[in-house]
Each structure stands twice: as structure tokens, then as C-alpha cells.
Amino acid sequence: MKISNETKIGALTTLAVVLLIIGYNFLQGRDFFTSSNIFYAKYKFVDGLALSNPIKLRGMNVGRVTEMSLDKDKETVIVKFTVRKDIEIPKGTVAKIISADLLGSKAIDLNFSQNAELHENTDTLLSVVQESLTSSVRAEMLPVKQKAENLLSSIDSVMTIVRSVLNPDTRKSLISSVNNIQSTLEKLDQSTGQLNNLIDNNVGRLDRIFQNVESITLNLKNNEKTISTILANASSFSDSLQQSHIKEVINDAAINLAQVKLLLERIHSGQGTLGMLINDEQLYRNLEKSSKNLDLLIEDIKLHPKRYVEFSILGGGKKK
């Protein structure tokens, strides 16, 4: 049986229309080949969300967005979407609008709750909108932008200060200071070389000094017991000195000095024999005169003894 061309064209046209209708409905989020439940969600904003965007559960597509319309109060958007009938949605599940990729495509992600009760067909789910990637980047970049602006402002201020400070006179002073520093470093290098030469030339002397120091410390170590004994004796002597009656001796000495002072005051005032001898000038003159007369008498006796004494060996002499 031969099929005419008109029949072929009609069949192809019908198939094309059917495919067109199926494709259109698929793009609208309606799938004729799988049974599904209808759910609703209300959002303040649905930026980027479009018809036929996927409904995801743990990253897997389980439905599509089929319709979006404004609520009566014009403040919320009602989103209608389908979910496969084999997916049971517990009450308390949140339908969250998320970014599906970096290009800004949106999807609705179902975040299941732990409730045992299940949603029924045409129920309205809880909703939330994830912050967009642009908003997140903007929010994260805003502090960086502010810090960059502050940094640029600080750099501008620093450059202004540097320009004002680094005038020609200041640059000359800096160059002079650098030259002085270089000269100082050269002198320091020379001094270091001289110090090295001095050390090299006196290595033997330094060795002897260190040996003497070591010998002294060794002697101190070897005579540690003797030094300890000396220190103990000194401590014992100080203790004995502390325990002696020095205070009483000092008090006795003070009393004796007071008595001597009193005696000297009495002598000075002419009291007593010694005071009279020291202070009576007439008595001094008489004593001096008597002493001179006694000296003359003794001298005369030496010169003329016969005037005063006569003696005989046999005892026959005459007394005058």
C-alpha cells in the first residue's frame, strides 16, 4: 500500500505540532510524562527566577517552576512549582531560592524539616531567598573598598607630607647626613681593624692575664677553707667585741674626763696647793728667789767648805 505524499505531510505536520506543544509545556515547567504534585511559595523578590527553573533536592532536580504571579496586595510573588509524586515533603520544609551557577541562573532548593507530618498537594511552603552572588560579593568587597579608600587617603597624606618635608634644603641635609654616616662607618671599620691588630699583637699578654686570673681563682678555690676560717674568726671577733663591756668602759672614761675637767677648773681658779702655785705670782717669785739663794749657798759651800764645816781624821778638830 502506497502512502501518498499528502498523508506523509499531514502526519509530519501533526507530529511537529505535538512536539511543539510538548516542548512549549516542558519549557513552561509542565511534564506530560511524569505525574507530580503542585506546591506554592511566596517571595518578596524573585530576581533571576524564571519559568521552568529546576526544583532541587540535595542537588537533584525533582521538579520545575510552572507559574509566577503577583499577589493581590502586589507586595509578594506567588511561585507555583511541581514536584514528583514520589517525593514526600514534610511540613516545615523551606523552599529557598538559590543561585544555580555563576551565571546567575536561579533554582528552588527544598530544605526538608524533621517533621513527621507531610504536605499535601497545593500546599504553600515556607520560603526564603538566598543572598545573590553579586550581593554577597558586594557585601564582602565593601569593607575592602573602604579600607582601600582609607589607604589611598593615607598614602596621599603621606606623600603630601613627604613633599613638604623633602624640600631642597632637607634633601641637602639628608645627603650630608648620609655622607657623615658613611664616613663614620669607614672610621668604625678602621677602628675595628686597629682593634683586631691590637688583639693580635697582644694575644700572648692576654693569655698570660687570663692565666693569672685563672691562677687567682684557683688559689681562692684551693684556700676556700682558710678564707672561711678567717671569715669565721672575724665574725667571732666582731661577736666578742659586741659582747665586751665597751659601753661601760666609755662611760667610765667619760666620768674620769669629767673629774679631770673639774680638777683643771679648780686648779685654774686657784683652789688647792697646785692652784696656788700656778696662779700666785708672788709665791712663784719667792720660790724662784729661794731657789737662787739655795744655789748660791751650795756654790759657796763648794768653794769654801771650811767656813761651814771642820772635821779631822783623828777627831781632834775644833768646832766653830
C-alpha cell at position 89? 515533603
Q: How confident is the model at residue 198 (pLDDT cuts 50, 70, 90)?
A: confident
Residue 203 pLDDT > 60: yes
Find the distance separating the first CA and the last CA of the chain, reported in whole Å: 226
Residue 125 within a domain: yes
pLDDT score recorded for residue 112: 92
Residue 298 pLDDT > 60: yes
pLDDT score recorded for residue 291: 83
Domain boundary residue among 112, 130, 148? 130
Residue 172 pLDDT > 80: no
The whole domain housing 221 covers 202-244
pLDDT score recorded for residue 25: 62
pTM of the full structure: 0.36
List, for residues 128-141, the tens digit of each pLDDT value: 886 654 555 566 67
Residue 240 pLDDT > 80: no
pLDDT score recorded for residue 214: 86
Residue 12 pLDDT > 50: yes
Region 261-290: mean pLDDT is 73
Residue 306 within a domain: no
Residue 241 pLDDT > 80: no
Residue 309 within a domain: no
List, for residues 243-270, the tens digit of each pLDDT value: 656 677 778 788 888 888 887 777 777 6
Residue 311 within a domain: no
Domain count for the chain, please give it. 2
Residue 108 within a domain: yes
Domain boundary residue among 186, 218, 244? 244
Q: How confident is the model at residue 230 (pLDDT cuts 50, 70, 90)?
A: confident
DSSP secondary structure letters along the chain = -PPPHHHHHHHHHHHHHHHHHHHHHHHTT--SSS-EEEEEEEES--TT--TT-EEEETTEEEEEEEEEEE-TTSSSEEEEEEEETT-PPBTT-EEEEEE-STT--EEEEEE--S-SSBPPTTPEEEEEEPPPHHHHHHHHHHHHHHHHHHHHHHHHHHHHHHHHHS-HHHHHHHHHHHHHHHHHHHHHHHHHHHHHHHHHHTHHHHHHHHHHHHHHHHHHHHTHHHHHHHHHHHHHHHHHHHHS-HHHHHHHHHHHHHHHHHHHHHHHTT-HHHHHHHH-HHHHHHHHHHHHHHHHHHHHHHH-GGGT----SSS-PPP-
Domain boundary residue among 113, 130, 147? 130
Residue 277 pLDDT > 80: no
Residue 214 within a domain: yes
DSSP secondary structure letters along 125-153 = EEEEEPPPHHHHHHHHHHHHHHHHHHHHH
Residue 283 pLDDT > 50: yes
Q: How confident is the model at residue 233 (pLDDT cuts 50, 70, 90)?
A: confident
Nearest to 41 by CA among 81, 70, 74: 81
Residue 83 within a domain: yes
Residue 167 pLDDT > 80: no
Residue 67 within a domain: yes
Question: Which phi and psi (to 5°) does residue 65 adopt?
Answer: -80, 130
pLDDT score recorded for residue 295: 85
